[in-house]
Amino acid sequence: MQLTLLNLAIDSKLLASDLLPLKVCNVSSQGMVFDRVKHVQRKTDIEVQFEITSKTQNSLIKWILSASLTAGNYLFPSLRRKQQPISYSYYRYLVRTWASNLGLDPSFYGTHSMRRTKATLVYAQTKNIRAVQLLLGHTKVDNTIRYLGVELEDALRLSEGIDC
């Protein structure tokens, strides 16, 4: 379950409040995991799309089969609360455990780290702020710029590359 949660969290770039309540039917049908998913974010009521990479598709298939999940089940069901997804606090605990296991300071990592990971990589490789804005479902480009914290870093890098 943890590998699948990690993979889907990074691929989807969803907030925890959107990721945790996902059901099997949101990502698959008749044993096949979708390549892309459309999802309306709870916080903004904006539809976003995300891709599910082949690695994540494989882990989803294995997880769904091993946990005997059906279409109406939560993808990440709580072990304590019947018919509920795992809690935000448990998800946060898992993220911090993963960070600790990698030798990182867990206090620097939270559930939002998963959302930010792929968005930051997309921006670093493409410098396409509009693409990142669409992937995250931000309404304003200014929000995406602040979110990524790229303004000063990019300005300094550009300045360093210019010799007068």
Instruction: Work out whether the CA dihedral 136, 110, 125, 152 comes out positive or negative.
Output: positive
Other Cβ atoms less than 10 A from the Cβ of 37: the count is 19
Q: What is the pLDDT of residue 19?
A: 98
Residue with tokens 């990589």: 121
Distance CA 84, CA 22 (A): 11
C-beta of residue 23 within 8 angstroms of C-beta of residue 71: yes
Q: What is the pLDDT of residue 149?
A: 78
Q: What is the pLDDT of residue 91?
A: 97
Q: Which domains does the chain have, with CATH numbers?
A: 2-160 (1.10.443.10)
- Is it the case that residue 27 has pLDDT exceeding 70? yes
Residues in the chain: 164
| Burial class, 106, CB count within 10 angstroms (exposed 0-12 / middle 13-18 / buried 19+) | middle
Mean of per-residue pLDDT scores for the chain:
92
Identify the three-state secondary structure at position 28.
Answer: strand
Of 20-29, 33-42, 124-133, the range with the lowest mean pLDDT is 124-133
* pLDDT tens-place string over residues 76-119: 999 999 899 999 999 999 999 999 999 999 999 999 888 889 99
C-beta of residue 49 within 8 angstroms of C-beta of residue 36: yes
* pLDDT tens-place string over residues 44-77: 898 999 999 999 999 999 999 999 999 999 999 9
Q: What is the pLDDT of residue 159?
A: 75
